[in-house]
């Protein structure tokens, strides 16, 4: 069960092969290399930016996103599993897992 672990997310730009490879081959390669965690995170980040652009406050977006995520996870996996996940969040936050622009000292 994968819940909320984005340590494997890779934000490097995709490799662009030569134009000799057909569009069908490119689509097949893209499907084979797809990273569902990265795809989901990028989707949420785009929605987040849209909300900010529409004038929603960051704190309101954050509270709504946390509520939506936790309530969906509880529905899918149960309170005990989600409780175990959230017990680990403090350590993961302190270790910088959720910091995109981190300065390493």
pLDDT at 11: 39
Q: Is this structure's pTM higher than 0.75?
A: no
Judge whether 89 and 3 are in contact, CB under 8 Å. Answer: no
> In this structure, are 63 and 88 located in the same domain?
yes
| Whether residue 49 sits in one domain with residue 65 | no
How many domains, in total, are found in the chain?
Answer: 2
Model pLDDT for residues 71-93, shown as the tens digit of each residue? 999 999 999 999 999 999 999 99
| Domain contains 51 | yes
Say if 69 falls within a structural domain: yes
Three-state helix/strand/coil letters over 25-79: HHHHHHHHHCCHHHHHHHHHHHHHHHHHHCCCCHHHHHHHHHHHHHHHHHHHHCH
pLDDT in tens, 12-71: 434 444 444 566 666 666 666 678 888 898 999 999 999 999 999 999 999 999 999 999
pLDDT (mean) for 5-15: 43
């Amino acid at each position: 069960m994968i819940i909320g672990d984005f340590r494997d997310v890779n934000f490097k730009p995709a490799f662009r092969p030569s134009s000799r490879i057909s569009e069908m081959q490119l689509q097949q390669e893209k499907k084979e290399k797809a990273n569902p965690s990265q795809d989901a995170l990028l989707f949420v980040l785009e929605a987040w930016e849209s909300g900010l652009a529409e004038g929603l406050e960051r704190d309101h977006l954050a509270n709504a996103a946390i509520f939506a995520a936790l309530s969906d996870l509880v529905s899918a996996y149960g309170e005990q599993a989600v409780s175990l996940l959230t017990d680990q969040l403090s350590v993961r936050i302190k270790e910088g897992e959720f910091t995109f622009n981190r300065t390493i000292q």
